[in-house]
Structure 1
Amino acid sequence: MAELNGRPVRPAELQALALTNYGHFTTMRVTDGRVRGLALHLERLRRDCRALFGTELDLDLVRSYARRAVPGSGSTMLRLTVFDPALDLGSLGGRADPAVLVTTRPAGDGAMPPPLRVRSVGYVRDQPEVKSVGLFGALRHRRAAQLAGYDDALFVDGTGAVSEGGTWNLGLIRDGEPVWPEAAYLPGTTLELLRGLRPGRSERVPLTGLSGFQAAFAGNAAIGVRPIAAVDGVELDPGHPLIAELAAAYRDLPGTSV
C-alpha cells in the first residue's frame, strides 16, 4: 500500500521524490501492531525534518498515518518517507511543506539470515547522520560488491576506519564484549537498542585491525542481528555466542503500539 498524508497517493505526487530525490525516511518492522524502538524512529523523523526542511513534524499526525497501514496481527515492514511534492530542482530554496508517504512491504519470518561476506570500500555518505532518501552511493557499492561475489559492502572512511554498511550498522566482538566503531555513520535505531542491552565500548577501528576481533555482525530494523562471516580476506566467527545472545535479547524487547 502507499498513502500520502493519510490518503491514496497520486502518481504525479511522486514525481518530486523520483526526480529530485530530496527527503528522509525511517523503516521499521511492525509485529502485531508494535514496533521496537518506536520512539527512536519518531525522534529520527523529527530531527531529520528539522535538518532538511527547517520545520517541525507533527509526530502525532505521523503516527495516525502509520496506524492506518499497520495490520492487527503478523509482521510487515513499514516505511515513512518525508518529502515535499512541491519542491523541484529549481525551487529547492523555497519554503517547505513536507508530506508523509507511508508504504509497506512484506517482512521476513524473523529468523536470523545466513552470515554476510562483505567487501570493504572507501565511502562516506553525504550528511551521514541523516537517513536521507539519496542512497545512490550506498547502493552502487552494494551492487559492485555483489557483482564481485560478496553479499554487501562495508564502508571505510578517509582515515581508514570502518564505519557501516549501506543499510546496516556494524558491531564487532572482542574478548566477549561488543565494540562499536567510532566513525561518521548513520546511527540506526537497532544499534541504539543493542547498545542499551550491551553497552560495550566505542573506539576507532581501522580496517587493518579487524583481525584482532573474534566476530562481527550487522544490525538493522529489518533483520535484527546478522552475523558477518568475513570482511575481505579476514575470517570471523559467525557462530560466536554473543551474536546469538544479542539477537535473542533484541527479539525479546517489548515493542510500542503504533
Structure 2
Amino acid sequence: MATLDGNLVSADDLLPLALTNLGHFTSMRVDADGSIRGLALHMERLVKDCKAVWGADLDTGRIREYVRQGLDGQSAPCVVRVTVYDPKVDMGHPADADEPHVMVSVRGAGAMPPQPLRAMSIPYERDLPEVKHVGLFGVLHARRAAQLAGFDDALFVGRDGHVSEGGTWNVGFVDESGTVVWPQAPVLPGVTMALLQQHAEHRIATVTVEQAKGMTAAFATNTSIGVRVITAIDETELPDDHPVLSQLRETYLSIPGETL
C-alpha cells in the first residue's frame, strides 16, 4: 500500500513520477519495536534534498505523521520509503514544479545480517550524488551488468580511478592497522555510514580499485542492510570474518532507535 499526502495513491498520482522520474526520497528500516535508527538524520536529508530539488521547505512533523499512518497495521521489521515529488510536474517545464507532495510506501525488511556481497567494479558517477534522488537508471543498469557477470552488485569507480560507493549503499574498508577507511569521493552521505562515523574510529581517504582489493576487509552499509560484508571485488576474494566487521555490526545494532 502507498499513500500520497495521507490518502491512498492512485495510478494518475503515480504517472508523473513514472514518466518524469523527478523527485527524491529516503528509506528507513523500522525495527520490531517500531523505532528507526537515524530517524533525525533521515528527516534532515529530506529537508535538505527538498530544498535542492524543489527549492521548497518541508514540514518534518507532517512527514512523521504520514509515516505513522503508513505504518499503521504493518508488521515490523519493515522498510518505509518517503518519496517527495510534484504530481503536477511537466517534462517540458520542470521549473514550474514547486509544490512537492509526500508519498509513503512500505515493504518487508530482510534478515540482518544479510548474506555477503560480491561486487564488480564499474566506471560510473551518479548525477548529483549528494542528493538521494529517484534517478536510478544508471545505478540499476550497472547493477544488472554486474549480476549478468556473476556478481551481486556494482562498485562504482570515478573517472579519476577512485572508488566512491555502491549501487544503493556506501562502501567502507578495513586497512592493515584495523582502521575503518571511508572513500573520499562524491558520494551520497548515507545515514548508516554517518551513524557509524559517529560511533566508530575511522579515517577518510581516496581509495583506488587496487587499494580496495588490498584492504584486509570491505563492507557495504545502508539502512536496509546495516553492515553487509563484501567478500569479493572483481576477482579478488576478501575475508568475511575480520573482527572489525563484527565490531561494526555490533556497534550499529547497539545504536538506539528513535520513535516517530
| 2:117 is aligned with 1:116 | yes
Which position in structure 1 is the counterpart of 2:139? 138
Q: Provide the TM-score with structure 2 as the length reference.
A: 0.96
Which one of the candidate residues 212, 215, 219 is aligned to 1:213?
215
Which one of the candidate residues 175, 188, 197 is aligned to 2:199?
197
The alpha-carbon deviation at position 74 of structure 1 amounts to 2.7
Matches within 5 A, 1:28-43: 28-31=28-31, 32-43=33-44
Contact kept? 1:33, 1:71, Cα under 8 Å:
no
Contact kept? 1:210, 1:234, Cα under 8 Å:
no
Amino acid paired to 2:46: L
In 1: Cα distance, 2:115 partner to 2:236 partner:
18
Which position in structure 1 is the counterpart of 2:248? 246
Matches within 5 A, 1:8-19: 8-19=8-19
The alpha-carbon deviation at position 199 of structure 1 amounts to 3.2
Amino acid paired to 1:59: T
In 2: Cα distance, 1:39 partner to 1:199 partner:
22
Amino acid paired to 2:207: V
| 2:93 is aligned with 1:91 | yes
In 2: Cα distance, 1:75 partner to 1:208 partner:
38
For residue 94 of structure 2, give the secondary structure of its aligned residue in structure 1. coil
For residue 180 of structure 1, give the secondary structure of its aligned residue in structure 2. strand
For residue 127 of structure 1, give the secondary structure of its aligned residue in structure 2. coil
- Structure 1 ranges of 4+ moved more than 6 A: none
Contact kept? 2:88, 2:97, Cα under 8 Å:
no
The alpha-carbon deviation at position 95 of structure 1 amounts to 4.4
Which position in structure 2 is the counterpart of 1:223? 225
Which position in structure 2 is the counterpart of 1:61? 62
Contact kept? 1:33, 1:70, Cα under 8 Å:
no
RMSD of equivalent CA atoms:
1.1
Which position in structure 2 is the counterpart of 1:2? 2
The alpha-carbon deviation at position 210 of structure 1 amounts to 2.1
| 2:154 is aligned with 1:164 | no
Which position in structure 1 is the counterpart of 2:187? 185
Q: Which ranges of structure 1 fall in alignment gaps of 5 or more residues?
A: none
| 2:22 is aligned with 1:22 | yes
In 2: Cα distance, 1:211 partner to 1:108 partner:
28
1:190-237 deviation digits (Å, cap 9, x = unpaired): 000011111310000111212431000000000000000110122211
In 2: Cα distance, 1:134 partner to 1:43 partner:
20
In 1: Cα distance, 2:213 partner to 2:95 partner:
47
Amino acid paired to 2:65: S
The alpha-carbon deviation at position 91 of structure 1 amounts to 2.2
Q: Which ranges of structure 2 fall in alignment gaps of 5 or more residues?
A: none
Contact kept? 1:173, 1:216, Cα under 8 Å:
yes
In 1: Cα distance, 2:3 partner to 2:134 partner:
17
Which position in structure 2 is the counterpart of 1:236? 238
Amino acid paired to 1:206: T
Amino acid paired to 1:256: E
Q: Provide the TM-score with structure 1 as the length reference.
A: 0.97
1:150 and 1:239, CA in 2 relative to 1: closer, same or farther beyond 3 A?
same
The alpha-carbon deviation at position 12 of structure 1 amounts to 0.2
In 2: Cα distance, 1:211 partner to 1:40 partner:
31
Amino acid paired to 2:5: N
For residue 95 of structure 2, give the secondary structure of its aligned residue in structure 1. coil
For residue 33 of structure 1, give the secondary structure of its aligned residue in structure 2. coil
The alpha-carbon deviation at position 176 of structure 1 amounts to 1.1
